[in-house]
Amino acid sequence: MAVYTHVPAEVMADFLAGYDVGTLVSAKGIAEGVENSNYLIETSGADGQGARFILTLYEKRVATGDLPFFMTLLDHLAARGLPVPPALPDRTGQVIRELMRRPACLIRFLPGISVTHPTAAQARAAGSAMGAMHRAVADFPLGRANNMGLDTWSDMLSRCGHAGMERIAPGLWGQMTALLRQVQAHWPHNLPKSVIHADLFPDNVLMLDDQVTGLIDFYFACTDIRVYDLAVMHSAWAFAPDGTPADPAIGQALIAGYETTHGLTKAERAALPLLAQGACIRFLLSRAYDWINTPADALVTRKDPLAYWHRLEWYCATGKAAFA
């Protein structure tokens, strides 16, 4: 959520000369996405009509070795008509280049805004977009292990530590340990897997009114249980920011929207309550780790891990009724 690498305008202009996009007209560092440096840039355009792009420099959080997977995925989805911004090849055909000693890509700008309090109509459209994405990846040939998946949660909890978890909320360590064991024991390993977005929060869906105009920030995309993607989405969309449930119509609309473009088997539907608990554990743990390891006075926003604790409690208490 910051610009980590300052790119001098002259260096940026040189970099852009490698593409058929005209000359640099404007460049603003933007505060969004995971730990990358992003610039919203405008050029005169290949046709002189003006064009806009996001220039992304990949900082340490995104492994360089994963970039070909991400970029091929964006291309695949864009080619199938999904509102996903493809990265541009330069004049030599390269998509992943180097800028300021970091891997860098020039990505098409998409209009649309990220809603903070989605309506049911917006949730329906977003669920439908996820279903369409899952259809489109059915023939995608690449895969990537989920480095924030089930197998990693015990380790993440250990790295947060007993003292750290107790500082967030007394009793949290014991409760998380017990819940994690339970979720691991019942995890539905036999459900269909595919490439998933794994982080389709409202932040990562661009909309104009009730239309989805963009699905962005695929840097957690990986191979995992397909319907886990919908569980992650539910845990991110169906609650108010403080972790209390929003209007139940939101969660219902997400799933109804998904079903307009992708089927859900009985087994997938039955697994949603447990997968949603898993999604809460994953985001609670990554937020807890950041919370414990970020100085309180640092000028980055620490996301409250307890918001996910409240969601987790709600899923545990509500069970199947959460997805009725």
Residue 32 or 259: which CB sits closer to its own copies?
Answer: 32
292 sits near its own copies (criterion: CB under 8 A): no
295 sits near its own copies (criterion: CB under 8 A): yes
Mutual orientation of helices 153-160 and 266-293 as an angle, nearest 10°?
Answer: 20
32 sits near its own copies (criterion: CB under 8 A): yes
Site for its own copies, residues 189 to 208, rule: CB under 8 A:
206, 208
Residue 45 or 149: which CB sits closer to its own copies?
Answer: 45
We find the least distance from the C-beta atom of residue 142 to its own copies, in angstroms, to be 30
We find the least distance from the C-beta atom of residue 117 to its own copies, in angstroms, to be 6
Partnered with residue 211 across adjacent β-strands are 208
Computed on alpha carbons and rounded to an integer, the radius of gyration of the chain in Å comes to 20
Task: Check: CB of residue 208 under 8 Å from CB of residue 256.
Answer: no
115 sits near its own copies (criterion: CB under 8 A): yes
Residue 118 or 278: which CB sits closer to its own copies?
Answer: 118
240 sits near its own copies (criterion: CB under 8 A): no
Task: Check: CB of residue 278 under 8 Å from CB of residue 180.
Answer: no
**Strand bridging mode 222-225 / 193-196:** antiparallel
24 sits near its own copies (criterion: CB under 8 A): yes
Task: Check: CB of residue 84 under 8 Å from CB of residue 76.
Answer: no
We find the least distance from the C-beta atom of residue 291 to its own copies, in angstroms, to be 15
Residue 112 or 188: which CB sits closer to its own copies?
Answer: 112
We find the least distance from the C-beta atom of residue 109 to its own copies, in angstroms, to be 8
DSSP string, 65-101: GGHHHHHHHHHHHHHTT-S--PBPP-TTS-SSEEETT
Strand ranges inside 170-323, DSSP E = 193-196, 205-208, 211-215, 222-225
Q: What is the C-alpha separation between 245 and 55, in angstroms, rounded?
A: 36
Task: Check: CB of residue 146 under 8 Å from CB of residue 69.
Answer: no
Find the helix or strand (DSSP H, E) in which 162 lies: helix 162-168
34 sits near its own copies (criterion: CB under 8 A): no
CA 280 to the chain's CA centroid: 14
Which amino acid belongs to residue 317?
Answer: A
Residue 118 or 131: which CB sits closer to its own copies?
Answer: 118
Choose the binding region for its own copies from 7-15, 145-153, 254-262, 306-314 (rule: CB under 8 A). 7-15
Residue 182 or 293: which CB sits closer to its own copies?
Answer: 293
300 sits near its own copies (criterion: CB under 8 A): yes
8 sits near its own copies (criterion: CB under 8 A): yes
246 sits near its own copies (criterion: CB under 8 A): no
Number of other CB atoms surrounding residue 36 within 10 Å: 25
121 sits near its own copies (criterion: CB under 8 A): no
114 sits near its own copies (criterion: CB under 8 A): yes
Choose the binding region for its own copies from 74-82, 139-147, 178-186, 290-298 (rule: CB under 8 A). 290-298
Q: What is the C-alpha separation between 89 and 192, in angstroms, rounded?
A: 33
Residues that bind its own copies (CB under 8 A): 1-3, 6, 8-13, 24-32, 40, 42, 109, 111-117, 206, 208, 295, 297-301
